[in-house]
Structure 1
Amino acid sequence: MKNSDSAISPAGTLNDVLSIDQHGAVALDPEQRALLASDVSWLEYRAEFRRQMIKGGFLKHPWRSIFEADMIFTLIGHKWLQGEILTLKQVATYFKAFASDVTISRHIDDMVASGTLVRTPDPEDRRRLLLMPTQRLFEIGRIFLQARKEIARKHGYIYDPARASAEQ
């Protein structure tokens, strides 16, 4: 193990067990630590958010893994806001590394049952089913994203698109 006076960096032995007195020496800069704290705050909020959505009857049917569901909702909502409607096959392709086609299909079933998505036949090819968001999805998303903004601000992040584009 490393001495607590020096920074613990990836160059050390990766299998070293860290003792709690070394928590300040891990080689993470303040921005990285803030991101980590933001992620933990988000996890805490996300668990409570799910409980409140179910308790309040906002969701007609709870979904399985909230993290997989969040990824699917984010993808479908974001693409729809950009003018693109996705199919189950497209969503499954995006998440192939994380979940099987069957798992994605079950999530979509849960989302349809919860009233956040609707499967609609593609008018150009009736064999394809388009995944259409409902107003319920965007209301949940609005609440969800407002919380993400507040958590990010709490940890020092400020929306500044002009500065971000200048730094690229």
Structure 2
Amino acid sequence: MKLGDGVEQAIHCATLLAAVPEGGLLSAAAMAEFHGVSVSYLLKHMQALSGTGIVQTVAGPKGGYRLGRAPKDITLLDIILAVEGPEPAFRCKEIRQRGPNPLPASAFARPCQINAAMLRAERAYRNELKSVTIAQLVAEVARDDDGTIEARGCAFLAEHLRKPNSKPTN
């Protein structure tokens, strides 16, 4: 299974936004700079996060993004579903019913065993992702940090933190 680069970017942006103090914002340009990624590509994923309420968008020259929910209420699954959509990774096309000399439909009364196995794996995968929150990731990073990561983040926030003049658009 392969997830797009946008998933990694969205998760990292959510963890960065978890450090933004109440009332503060970060621009997409600042987050793109911090992570060394394309602003236009990141904007696409921030829009997906905004559409699901994971982040809030504040318009205007001093606008930007902040988390729309508490970090403890945002799971990795929430972010992946926002960016990649709800479709399962495996989509059975019932190819067992094709080809030369196909069997009658009665031979396939039970669901495809391959599809059933893949859906069980998908459920396990999603359950694991649902059990990990942004707050947990932030706590794990803090636990393993010797102060270097925190210092980098604090210096970046000191330079790029914005205070909005308007209300969130969602």
TM-score norm. by structure 1 comes to 0.40
The answer to which structure has the higher strand fraction is 1
TM-score norm. by structure 2 comes to 0.40
